[in-house]
Structure 1
Amino acid sequence: MEMIVQVKKTPFRLKTAPLLAGVLVACMLPLSTMAQEAPPPQEKGPAAKDAMLHALEVTYQNPYRAMDAAQVKAVLDRVFGYLDATTPAEIISKSSGAPIARLDKADPDAVLKPGDFRLTSYEWGVTYAGMLAAGAATGDRRYTDYTIKRHQLLADLTRLYYPGVKADPANAQAPIKSFLNPHALDDAGALCMSFLKAKNAGSTVDYGQMVDICGSFVTEKEYRLKDGTLARGGPDGKGGNKMRPLQDTLWLDDLFMGVPTIALLGKDKGQARYYDDAVRQVLQFSKRMFNPALGIYMHGYVEGMRDHPELHWARANGWAIMAMVEVLEVLPKNHKGYKAVEDQLRAHARGLARFQDKDGLWHQLIDRNDSYLETSASAIYTYAIARAVNRGYLDKEMYGPMANLAWNAVAGKVNPKGEIEGICVGTGMAFDPAFYYYRPVSVRAAHGYGPVLLAGAEIIEMNRRFKFGLNDSGFMYQGQR
């Protein structure tokens, strides 16, 4: 007999006995070409009118496929082009606006040249990490150099200005004073994470002084509850307490703002106490704030209250799952807390999977479908889930399609200029849903740029390692590359 098998529209003929044909085809064809369509009907004669309805063309909101590396990079290149043009790494005179080509002493008139985004915000700590990841995934040195150039500038400014700020924190002037004299995890944690990641990747910038400043703030100076959990609303230094928004308040955001840096310090200093602290933070935040029935976290918690606002803000949940993948990246596998952190990551990923919107994004309040779809959180989930698939924390069969669906939706939010649309602006903690529902969105909200770079980089790595494609019209895992 002659049997014809279609492989990517190229006829592949086998001449063999009928009994062996199916076996040989199954053995000889790669997994990516097997079981792509429903088997043909066995009945003979005219086909019923419903015979091919399953094959009707479907119009999806976003591409229903896996992007290849070149397609993902094209999206990242637009983001890079915009950020490189609008975040200058330059010093100017505050009074004249003229550039300062060489700064060899602490000039109080010197400031960073304004751009669309601040170079020392926690959001830009994430962006520096995203640029490093994009450079590693694409092989395009421009991404890596973006971070190294700005890290070098920050290191130079630290060397010049830190002695004066340390001597007179209240009155000293410095272009990066919020970093040199931090008052909250936002001022130090994410930047410190980016410094340590760059150092681990081989950057030649001298990070010693900067890591001492931000690392000591995160681990020694930030307020904590009695059991050591990072918190807000501690003493104000004047006999009262900072109300953020109440005394002894936990913000889920701080799981990311502090904990990856703590874990990275364990690797940097070779001291287990940092690993122990990082694990303790994950578990103590989760004990207080994770809803096991829903599989997602509340945004805020106030120690001593009997009830807490169960408002499941999307970006805070993003910071939480991102913190866990970053901790697992450096936590020794034989650490006694490793499995507990991995189990918590898996529980959170299962919860997020339940709430993904049909077109790939997640809602501003995750479990409230009438709240708007939000880009930055969706990008963070994409990164964290794809990273977890690549590291084996999550099953590729279950979560690979989910991450690809999310990436395609996030990529659709990058406009031709490289701006990212649909990003919720900075958001505090509230006790009512209206606050979250009505938070504005803006392309100038810095929170989405680093996550998109991280997400694209990790999707490139995932889709290089694993093949995803259509099987009976459904998008799913199809084997190792």
Structure 2
Amino acid sequence: MITLTREHLEQTIERVIQRIRDMSGSIAETAPIGIISMENWEWPQGVGLFALHGYYRETGDRRLLDFLTDWFDARIAEGLPDKNVNTMCPMLTLTYLAEETGRPDYLDLCREWLDYVLNEMPRTEEGGLQHEVTGSANEGQLWDDTLYMTVLFVARMGVLLRDEICIQESVRQFLVHLKYLTDPSTGLFFHGWTFHEGGHHFAKALWARGNCWYTAGLVDYLDMIKLPEGVRGFLLSSLRRQANKLLELQSAEGAWHTLLNEPESYLETSATAAFAYGLLKGYRRGYLNESDRDAALRALDYVLTQIDGDGVVHGVSYGTGMGRTLREYRDIPICPMPYGQSMTLLLLVEALKNGIGAGEPNSGFASGQGEGADRHG
């Protein structure tokens, strides 16, 4: 186990944040909209913005608030891209800025994009949000990414507007996606499902980052809204079953492979950080066990080894479309990405909240009971 101090964690956080802010392309992009540079408006930038705002909420550092408002003002002035599942992701952070700044233009934009989700975004059978993205309609397809990229925004708008329709829509999307994407034999999630071609899970990929959107997203979703106990219990049971399998599949290094059940596929840092974040926060909230916390701390050790002296997080896979073969997932290139930085940031901040950094090995920390009342045996 790595011995950490709070000072070391805070210094690492500052370096990671700086790299989010100035992230730029390092490979030839294949996505229709650039997904590396922070000057673009897409889902990787949205994930980065959410992590930055979370750290701002913790620290009150006005420099971060200024960066966020400057970022949105610049993108809005440039003109926003077409609305779809992935371009919706930055709107989650804008809901918080609209509330904090009181700016009516921010709130109006949030309302406009919410209206698109509720009334215009393409749907699959059973009312699921079709994973339409820039350059591809993905007709009839459900992807696990959608919950993080769009559904969290819908839930947050429900809270902001006190609109029960939004809350219930977010619940429906979680339930529909879990119905079609859960692998009943493992409790993990397939990357996608199509209602076409007789219905199937494409390559049946148990893709790490797709899975981590649930692990990291659910713990934040439950912070946003109060759910009926039956729904809340169902979502948490899915988290617990997923966590049990994750512990079984964690590598000796403390990380997870990009195809979770294929040890020959490479270890992937963004998913590892997001899994560790969800497990560690889940423990603190009382949803998970000490074994889950211990796995998260092993993952934290691994993630720290992937951060270089400049704060760049390595071992992160590029954006990953729906694969028809497992080989397509194994061959995704690796390069620094905004979501690698941001998932690492979320993990490091959560580590501080768990009391890690008092100068002892990680395994000696956070051994007390979590905040919630959901600790299970």
TM-score (norm 1): 0.67
The residue that corresponds to 2:79 in the other structure is: 176
8 Å CA contact retained: 1:233, 1:243: yes
Give the match for residue 113 of structure 2: 214
Q: Is contact 1:298–1:312 with CA below 8 Å preserved after alignment?
A: yes
The C-alpha deviation readout for 1:119-145, integer Å capped at 9, x for no partner, is: 422111111111122233455443343
Q: Quick one: distance in 2 between partners of 1:467 and 1:300? A: 42
Tell me the number of residue pairs that the alignment of Structure 1 and Structure 2 aligns. 356
> Does the alignment pair 1:79 with 2:28?
no
* AA partner of residue 257 (structure 1): M
> Displacement of 1:335 after TM fit?
5.5
Using the alignment, how far apart are the partners of 1:233 and 1:141 within structure 2?
A: 35
What's the CA shift for 1:278? 1.2
Q: Distance in 2 between matches of 1:186 and 1:243?
A: 12
Report the CA distance between 1:333 and its aligned residue: 4.4
Q: Deviations over 1:273-327 (max 9, x none)?
A: 2222211211211111111321211112111535423111111111122232232
| 1:383 alignment partner, one of 268, 277, 286 | 277
How far apart in 1 are the matches of 2:161 and 2:240? 29
Aligned partners of 2:245 and 2:358: how far apart in 1?
Answer: 25
Asked if the contact 1:374/1:424 (under 8 Å) is kept, the reply is yes
Gaps of 5+ in 1: 1-62, 88-114, 158-174, 237-241
Does structure 1 residue 405 correspond to structure 2 residue 294?
Answer: no
Q: Whole-Å Cα distance in 2 between the matches of residues 243 and 259 of structure 1?
A: 18
In structure 2, what is the Cα distance between the partners aligned to 1:233 and 1:84? 27
1:381–1:326 Cα change, 3 Å: same
Of 292, 295, 298, the residue aligned with 2:184 is 292
Which residue is 2:71 aligned to?
150
Q: Equivalent residue for 1:128?
A: 49
Q: Does 1:223 align with 2:122?
A: yes
**CA deviation after TM superposition for structure 1 residue 463, in Å:** 2.1
1:163 aligned residue: none
CA distance, structure 1, for counterparts of residue 119 and residue 125 of structure 2: 14
Q: Among 255, 259, 262, which residue is 1:361 paired with?
A: 255
The structural deviation recorded for 1:152 is: 4.1
Match of 2:195 among 298, 303, 306: 303
Alpha-carbon distance in structure 1 between the residues aligned to 2:111 and 2:271: 30
- Structure ranking higher in strand proportion: 1
Report what 1:4 is aligned to.
none
Once the two structures are TM-superposed, the CA of residue 387 in structure 1 deviates from its matched residue by: 2.1
Partner of 1:438: 331
Checking the alignment, whether the CA contact within 8 Å between 1:295 and 1:352 is kept in structure 2 is no
Alpha-carbon distance between aligned partners in 2 of 1:364 and 1:282, rounded to the nearest angstrom: 23
Instruction: Tell me the distance in 2 between the aligned counterparts of 1:80 and 1:467.
Output: 22
Q: CA deviation at 1:118?
A: 2.9
Aligned AA for 2:279?
I
| Distance in 1 separating the partners of 2:182 and 2:91 | 26
Counterparts of 1:342 and 1:314 in 2: how far apart (Å)?
19
Does structure 1 conserve the Cα–Cα contact (< 8 Å) formed by 2:5 and 2:358?
A: no
Structure 1 residue identity aligned to 2:159 = K
Amino acid of the residue matched to residue 186 of structure 1? Answer: N
Q: Deviations over 1:207-260 (max 9, x none)?
A: 2122023222222221112311111479x9xxxxx663xx41111111211111
Change (3 A) 1:459 1:198: farther
Range moving further from structure 2, 363-372 or 408-417? 408-417
Report the Cα distance in structure 1 between the residues aligned to 2:263 and 2:154, rounded to whole angstroms.
35
- The equivalences for 1:253-264 within 5 A come to 253-264=145-156
**d(CA) in 2 for partners of 1:392 and 1:152?**
39
Q: Indicate the SS of the match to 2:355.
A: helix
Offset of residue 339 of structure 1: 1.9
Question: Hey, what's the Cα distance between the residues in 2 that align with 1:480 and 1:289?
Answer: 32
Instruction: Say which of 290, 308, 311 aligns to 1:418.
Output: 311
Aligned position for 1:25? none
In structure 2, C-alpha distance between the alignment counterparts of 1:71 and 1:218, rounded to whole Å: 42
Give, in angstroms, the shift of residue 414 of structure 1.
Answer: 1.5
Q: What secondary structure is seen at the aligned counterpart in 2 of 1:296? A: coil
Aligned position for 1:37: none
Cα RMSD (Å): 2.9
2:53 partner SS: helix
1:326 equivalent to 2:223? Answer no
The residue type equivalent to 1:134 in the other structure is: Y
SS in 2 for 1:120: coil
Instruction: Please state whether the residue corresponding to 1:250 is helix, strand or coil.
Output: strand
CA contact 2:141–2:192 (8 Å) conserved in 1: yes
Q: Match of 2:286?
A: 392
Find the aligned partners of 1:453 and 1:144 in 2 and give their Cα distance: 16
Q: What percentage of aligned pairs have identical amino acids?
A: 23
Distance 2:177 2:359 in 1: 35
Contact kept? 1:259, 1:278, Cα under 8 Å: yes
What corresponds to 2:30 in structure 1?
none
> Does structure 1 residue 283 correspond to structure 2 residue 183?
no
* Structure 2 gap ranges (5+): 25-35, 371-377
Pick closer, same or farther for the CA change 1:212–1:139 going to 2, 3 Å: closer
Match of 1:478 in 2: 367
Partners of 1:129 and 1:454 within 8 A in 2: no
Select 2:144's aligned residue among 252, 265, 272.
252
Q: Which amino acid aligns with 2:145?
A: D
SS of 1:452's partner is helix
Q: Which amino acid aligns with 2:352?
A: I
Q: Greater share of helix residues, 1 or 2?
A: 2
Q: Secondary structure at the match of 1:192?
A: helix
